[in-house]
Amino acid sequence: MRITSEPFGSVDGTDVTRWTLQRGAVRVRVLTYGGIVQSVETPDRDGVPDGVALGFPDLEGYLKRPEPYFGALVGRYANRIAGGAFTLDGAVHRLPRNDGPNCLHGGERGFDKRVWGAEEVESGVRLSRVSPDGEEGFPGRLEVSVTYALDADGALRIGYRAETDAPTVVALTNHSYWQLGDGLQELRVAASRFTPTDGTGIPTGAFAEVAGTELDFRAGRPLTIPLDHNFVLDGEGSAVAELYAPGSGRTVTVETTEPGLQVYAGPELGGVALEAQAFPDSPNRPEFPSTVLRPGEVYDSTTVFRFGTR
């Protein structure tokens, strides 16, 4: 295992560092700006390494084009919150409306646009910052740390932890786009249900069966349609999804403690985002798993991206 760091420019006078984690043939680069996974390199079935995560070669690329959220650490709340507002314990909290009428990925300047502190830990790097009370409209002073580590088999393990001094909502994720090789990629998702949405991407509150629809990826099939849907995962911690590129033989398998997987595949981007996360608009949907965090509690979430070939 090899861990190194180097300067990577600055944002508003604050230095940015790039950390490189390498174990065997797997190499991952993480930026302290936005907690961004800048690149992931893995071998194909012939042992030839290449990049499999979309990103920019320099900091300027991320500053000029933030909206795809390439590789970003997303928070305080990943995905959408309807109307840019939610009510918690009788108090209404208003958020930026940066996605039509809704709040998306933590607001106008979410976690993806902040410079994080960093320290080397066993097998990786831990990023941390304090999100002050009222940042982007969210209540409570939130102490957050996110650890990026390479397991013994080269899997990328992302562990999220947060504590608050006042009731708030928290939902974090990684927004990497995976492109494992040339040609169509095949997707498998262990989800028999999804959450239908309205015209602005907000869940209606219903749970719909994937059977008989174009969203049935339980058996795995080529990804030929654009996607932006939250899948209700059937299991927890096990291999809940797999992306496969027949041309290169590469696979990335997702394991997570989260209840949902937002799959975003925009044809203009050329990659597939597999965002393990809470359900969209959970703060306004009591029928969804709760995303409320209270003082004395710990937000603790883990997602693993396991790389392989076949």
Catalytically active residues are 175, 275
Task: Classify the C-alpha dihedral 109-204-300-158 as positive or negative.
Answer: negative
Closest to 53 in 3D by CA, of 87, 30, 74, 84? 30
Strand partners, 160: 146, 301
Contact 299, 160 (CB under 8 A): yes
What DSSP line would sit under 139-193, residue for residue? -S-EEEEEEEEE-TTS-EEEEEEEEESS-EE-B-EEE-EE--SSS--EEEE--SE
- DSSP code at position 106: T
Angle CA 122–111–301, to nearest 5: 50
Amino acid at the residue 94? R
